[in-house]
Amino acid sequence: MEWFQIKVFVTDESLKEALSSFFFDLGSEGVSETIDKGVSQGVCACFPKEREAELKTQINDYLESLKEGLSNANHLTWNFSLVPEDNWSEKYKEFYQAQKLTERFFLKPRWDLKTSIPTDMFPIILDPGQAFGTGLHPSTKLSMKLIEDAAGLYPNLQELDILDVGTGTGILAIAANHLGFGSVTAIDNDEDAVRVARENLIINHAEKVGVSGNSISNLSGPFDLIVSNILLETHLLLAQDYSRLLKTGGLLILSGLLGGQLGHIEATLKPQGFVPQQKYLYQEWAATSYCLRVKS
């Protein structure tokens, strides 16, 4: 697969944050600062080349609107370029750096041999590969925080079973494993994601996680906790599966949502017997949890 990148040259910090958020909204999980001689020159984001025609128009329109509407964006410049597949394995390393994800988890790329992991944090060692699922998207961090919170609710974590829907690189399944949950079933309909997740499970010694390309409709459950970091439309389609697979009293964690979409989720889940519990917001992104009180 080939990728294309957009580089925006800007030094204003508030604009960098706005641009990063915009690129994440468009579906990029790889957003980084452009550095030249130790000085930040702007931000850079990558997308699959198959979306180039669609996204270029949106990106150009957005950047032009910034130039016209904001005084600190008058000198904004940008360019597009291709990143061939044979360069991607090195290119994404620019976007993927060691960092604190939550209060308890620290992310470190597999190739980073220098960064030390804080002794009071769980390490997650990842190589996202062609799956392009770095785990750096705000929705991943928000759902990870909810998993942490859920772990504090149960005295018998080792007896609980989790389902991770759309596991990607396996980062949330690995987090659940490290927190001490009993078993984790991780599924994804993307073959590359399943392969990459399996490799990452081995790297992280996540022996309690099993990953497959199985469809959620083929699962029988039941599960004590379901975590699903996917798009709103898919959440709505899977609402009955969530109810079918979750134990009464079980917890459902949903992410991949915009704050304005939470009402759609609640309207769909309440008739299924779900009761809202908790939510986290970051910029326009949201993650939320529900308890299944009564089977519909």
Structure tokens at 10: 């800007």
Do 85 and 148 lie in one domain? The reply is: no
- Residue 131's pLDDT is 45
- Residue 291's pLDDT is 98
Q: Is the peptide bond before 222 cis (omega within 30 degrees of 0)?
A: yes
Do 104 and 85 lie in one domain? The reply is: no
Do 69 and 136 lie in one domain? The reply is: no
Choose one of 78, 94, 110: the last residue of a domain: 94
Do 117 and 210 lie in one domain? The reply is: yes
Do 83 and 124 lie in one domain? The reply is: no
pTM confidence score: 0.76
Q: In Å, how far are 10, 57, 63, 211 from 15, measured between CA atoms? A: 7, 20, 11, 39
> What CATH number is associated with residue 128?
3.40.50.150
Question: How far apart are the C-alpha atoms of 172 and 162, rounded to whole Å?
Answer: 10
Do 154 and 262 lie in one domain? The reply is: yes
- Residue 295's pLDDT is 72
Q: How many domains does the chain have?
A: 2
Do 162 and 27 lie in one domain? The reply is: no
Q: In Å, how far are 73, 76, 99, 210, 239 from 12, measured between CA atoms? A: 8, 10, 23, 45, 42
Residues of the domain holding 190: 99-292
- Residue 31's pLDDT is 75
- Residue 132's pLDDT is 42
Do 146 and 271 lie in one domain? The reply is: yes
Question: How far apart are the C-alpha atoms of 277 and 267, rounded to whole Å?
Answer: 14
Task: Give 37's contacts (C-beta < 8 A, 6+ positions apart).
Answer: none
Q: Are 142 and 286 contacting, i.e. CB atoms less than 8 angstroms apart?
A: yes
- Please report, in angstroms and rounded to a whole number, the separation of the first and last CA atoms in the chain: 43
- Residue 246's pLDDT is 98
Mean pLDDT by 10 residues, the chain (296 residues): 83 76 76 63 83 91 86 84 68 70 86 81 77 64 95 93 94 96 94 89 95 95 95 93 97 93 95 95 90 84
> What CATH number is associated with residue 56?
3.30.70.260
Structure tokens at 64: 């032009």
